[in-house]
Structure 1
Amino acid sequence: MIRRWVINAIVFVVACLAPLAAARAAGEPFVRVEVETPQPVAVGQQVKINISVFVPNYFLSAPQFPLFDLPGAIVTLPDQGSLNLNDTIGGESFAGIQRTYVITPQQAGALTLPPAHISFTYAATPGQRTDGSVTLPPQAISVRIPPGAEGALLASDLRMTQSLDRDPAGLKTGDTLTRTIVIAASGIQAMMIPPPIFAPVDGVTLYPQQPVLQDESRDRAGLVGATRTDKMVYRFDRSGDYLLPALTVDWFDPVTGKRARASAPEVSAKVAMTAAFKTEIAPDIPVPAEPAPGLTASGWIRLVATAIGVLGITALAAFLFPRCRLAVMAWRDRQRETEAAYFARLREACHGNDRKVVYRALDAWARRAHALSASDWVRQNGSDELRRSFGGLERELFGSTPETQPWQAKPLLSALIASRRTWLRHKNPQARALSALPALNP
């Protein structure tokens, strides 16, 4: 009984493999997929997949490896060249070309390669050109969140460094201090590195600068790491001793299974009163022993009164000017940090039609509008047209398949203006009450 079961199993396996063996024996092209990274992989971990295309005899053109979409993951095809292979199957020689994809899962679960087509030409018969193509098999990749990695960035290494543009112990009121934070991570893309959280400080105005993201790639290795550089400018409005809080980023190494924290230490600043803020005593006015020739007593009185008036006005101006200047600067700062100011900068970015600049300006405005991100604001308040335009922008920046038409910022801006108008009307109770009133002349 057991022997018959074994024989039936062998017959079934042979019947399943026979068509593939016959195809290869007949000299048909085929594809091999090898997941180089052991499974299951962790969320955020780079997965290397080797895809090899084989043809009988030799290639007449290189295979066109596509950059396909994979929901729940970022797919890249590093520009590191291809690898030439040779194989012999059933006594027949096959030539192969291999490329390596790098896939970074963004969520836990199962990922399956899509049926992407790879086209090429080859010599089925020596000297004759034959068009060919192969389809990727549904290779599965198991993705999980490692225990202890909840809420942490997954990377094989992460470091945080800090630098200041001046000595924080020698500041005066109105001075600025630029704090530069560089986060370097291995095994992930720069867009995956979270921004550091600069906490507000009483008596200090914060001016965040645009971050700089940079990926690092090497031949044959593909993406090896990335850096994120953030700059924060602190302006000290009052004298005193200040403590700029430390910055931290939690990360998890999926290889060692250990959780770690990178940090930049707190900064102590000492701010002295600016000389312009000191109240000075007007000097004594010299009184001549006797009137100068040609001046009467009433003339001297007018001269002394004029001098006192001029000195008083000068002292008052010296006292009020720095305060008025700080008040004007503070008012300008508040205006620059309003939601309307951020939206004006977003308009300017859209006129430039630069996708990356538009995305950064849109994200900065959305955060100023008290949303978690640009996608969060669009999801909660955007119209269908805005969602389509924003989705097109994200596909242009992060998708693996380029859009068929050149991207234009004008449709996105038009949809944003309409959605923002609706959002402001619902946000303002007075405007909402006025809009609910019936028409005066129905």
Structure 2
Amino acid sequence: MRMFRLIRLLFLLTFFACAAARASGADTAPQLMIRAHLEPSGPVVAGSQIKLVVDCLTTTWFTEAPDWPLFTVPGAIVSLPDEQAENLHEVINGVDWFGVSRAYRIVPQTGGPFAIPSFAITVQPGQASGPVKLMTPLLTFAATVPAGAEGMSTFFPAQKLVATQAVEPSQERVKVGDQVTRTITQRAAGTQSMLIPPVNFSDVAGLKRYPKAATTKDIVEDRAGLVAGERTDAVTYVVDHGGKFTLPALTIEWWNTNTQRKETIVLPSVTLSAVAATEKPLFAIPVDAFTKDAAHRIVVIDRRQVVLLGLLLIGVFALVWAYPRLLTFYGRVRQLAIAARRRYAEGAAPAWRTLRRATREGSPQHIIPALYRWMDRSHEFGQPARLDLQKRPDGESSHAIAPLVHAVNSHYSNQASAALHWTEAETSLRRAMKRARKERQAEPPLPPLNRY
């Protein structure tokens, strides 16, 4: 019993101690601190980078990464590289502080004083009721330019700078409603693309200007590292009315770090001649369509194109309507061609060529069947054709055909084949065919009437 009371007493003491510790922890909120400093702290040369290092600290921990916003500094380029935040752990006045640190990059483009405005960073410390905003301190720095660069609107130092321009479409004559895009590409050796200053495109009377978002890229090699930076600026002009227009020349100033002198690149002007379209645009395009980098096209109806399209549609409908008739006509022509080819293949000309090939071989087994096949197809020697029936007009047997008749009889009577001189036989056959044709033409077209 005494042991049970002792255990219950120890349990109550432990419970009250935990409750007291929890109450004291709830009353103690996490402490927060923000620091900011510049590297280097003194004056810098325009065109060079200066770091703004910002530290966010707390006595507990951060449940989420701080929100690092971008800010603007007039006359300078501000960026936040994609680098991992640095974790911090410091002991200040005997208290442990934990936090993260990140560095902004600021590049002044002119000489003179600069002020970095105070901006808010949102953090989420542990054991806090909600997010907390920390304000950075206001910082200032000064930038200088070398002698000879005081009058430059933008001080851009580089080892080498090359600028090119392209105009699309390239032809000088355009129509009202067409788009003309002017693209300027700058390539700076040994310089990050984000440091290349933008190109300022001016307005042109008669043209509507729609700037596009710039594109940048760093050219990096494995061994050499950063080789060059490239920036591309583009603007689209829409032709508002007919006439001549001139895209003004562009002047780019930069500071050559090798020669320590100011250099100038002049891109020539471009002259355009716009003619009025034959028809008005089909519909108007909103102005904000060009500012959102959306794909757009101005549709212009040309009378000649409409006529060509109409003729094309008529031709298609006519072809569909005439397709069955054309198919039937094609079938008839194909049947006629097949019949003509069959008649030709069964005619005397192919049989005569077969006979000539057989005579070149010199074999009676091939010559004699080819000879009778030709005589049957020529229709000049009777049906069936026989050599021994070929007579002269006086009724006597032809002395020229007699050797050929003798050779045929010898072949079919299984006797020794007689000598056959085909040249003489061919001449005789041609004469016999001509004679038979004349006799057939001399016959009356009608048979004689029967007399009773």
Normalised by the size of structure 2, how large is the TM-score?
Answer: 0.38
Higher relative contact order (CA 8 A, sep 6+): 1
Normalised by the size of structure 1, how large is the TM-score?
Answer: 0.39
